[in-house]
Amino acid sequence: MHTVRPDAFQTVLAGEMSMEFKEVIGRRRSIRFFEPEKPVEREKIQTILEAARLASCAVNAHWAKAIVIERDKLSDEQLEQMKTPVAALNIELAPVHIYWYADLSVVNRMKGSRLKELVDVGALAPTHGWSHKFVDEFVYPQILKPMTESPAYAVAASTDVGVAICQALLTAFDEGLGACLSSFNVGIAKELFHVPDEWIPLYVLLVGYPAESWQAGGQRPRPPWDEQYFEGEHGKPFERDEAVVETLKQAKMIQTPATPNNPARIEEIKRLAERLGLPL
C-alpha cells in the first residue's frame, strides 16, 4: 500500500511543486478564474498531452484526439464565437484551450494492427489465446468491426477518451496549473479547426495559471457515499471505513469541503472581480 512520505513535496521545473498522487486528486478543482495574461509553458502542455497518450484504452484503439488552441491566436471575433452561455468567461480567461474528440474511424482504419502490437510486446500473451491470427480471423472481423456498427460504439469510444482526458486534467494540476472541463461551440470549432467528420466532440479542457487560490473555497459538494456505491447488489451500500477516510485526509486526498456562504470565498471572488474587471 502506498504511504505518504515526509518528503511528499519535491521541487521541479520553474519552482513548481510535484505532489503525491492522492494530493493531486484532492487539489483538483474546476478552476474558473485564470490569470489571463500569464502564458502556459509549451512543455507543460506537452506533459498534459503525454499523460493522455499513456492512458489505458480498450483494444489499444486510442480514439482520443485533441486540438490545442492558444487563445491569443484567435481573433476577437473567433473567440466571441467560441463562447457558450455557461462557459463564456472561462473561455475568455483561459490562455490555452484543448479541444477533445473521439475519432470513430480508428478501429476500421487500423483493422486490429494495434492489438498486434500488444501481442508483439507480450502485453497480450499466447497463454490467453492471443496471436496475430487470432486478431485477423476472429477479433477484428467478429468483434471489432461489428462493434463499430452498433449504436453503442460512440458511447464506448467516448468513455475511453474520458480516461485520457482525466489523466490530462490531473496532470495539469500536478504541473501547478488550473483547469476546467467545459462544453464548447461544436459547429464553430469544426469550422475553425477543420475537424474531420469522423471525430465526435466531447469537451474543451481550459488550462492556465489560476488567479484564485488553490483551495478555491474547498472541495466541491458531492452526493452522500451511500447513494453512490453498492456491494453485491443495488440497495446494499458499500460500507465506508472511517479509518480509511482519516488516512486519505492525512494524504490530502480528502480535504476541507466547501461550505455555503463562506466569507473567505465570497471575499476572494470580490477581489478577483475587481482585479479582473468582472461583474458581480
Q: Which residues pair with 182 in a beta bridge?
A: 204
Q: Tens digits of per-residue pLDDT, 186-217?
A: 999 999 999 999 999 999 999 999 999 999 99
Work out the number of other CB atoms within 10 angstroms of the CB of residue 76: 7
Query: Average pLDDT in the 151-166 region?
Result: 96
pLDDT at 277 over 60: yes
**C-alpha dihedral sign at 226, 232, 236, 239:** negative
Classify 264 as helix, strand or coil.
helix
Query: Average pLDDT in the 220-244 region?
Result: 97
| Closest-CA residue to 48 (of 208, 185, 252) | 208
pLDDT at 6 over 70: no
Classify 43 as helix, strand or coil.
helix
The three-state DSSP-derived secondary structure of 126-182 is HHHCCCHHHHHHHHHHHHHHHHHCCCCHHHHHHHHHHHHHHHHHHHHHHCCCEEEEE
Cα–Cα distance for residue pair 74/192, rounded to 1 Å: 10
Query: Average pLDDT in the 7-22 region?
Result: 54
Spatial CB neighbours of 92, under 8 Å, sequence gap ≥ 6: 36, 71, 79, 83
| Domain residue ranges in the chain | 10-108+152-211
Query: Average pLDDT in the 222-247 region?
Result: 97
Alpha-carbon distances, residue 153 vs 61, 135, 148, 150, 163 (angstroms): 12, 19, 5, 5, 16
Output phi, psi for 93, to 5 deg: -80, -35
Task: Give me the percent of the chain exceeding a pLDDT of 70.
Answer: 94
Query: Average pLDDT in the 20-28 region?
Result: 96
What is the structure's pLDDT at 246?
98
Query: Average pLDDT in the 81-96 region?
Result: 95
What is the structure's pLDDT at 19?
84
DSSP 187-216: HHHHHHHT--TTEEEEEEEEEE-BSS-TTT
Length of the chain, please? Answer: 280
pLDDT at 156 over 70: yes
Banded model confidence at residue 238, pLDDT cuts 50, 70, 90: very high
Banded model confidence at residue 14, pLDDT cuts 50, 70, 90: very low
pLDDT at 4 over 70: no
Banded model confidence at residue 18, pLDDT cuts 50, 70, 90: low
Residue type, 188: I
As a whole number, the mean pLDDT across the chain is 93
Domain 10-108+152-211 class, CATH top level: alpha beta
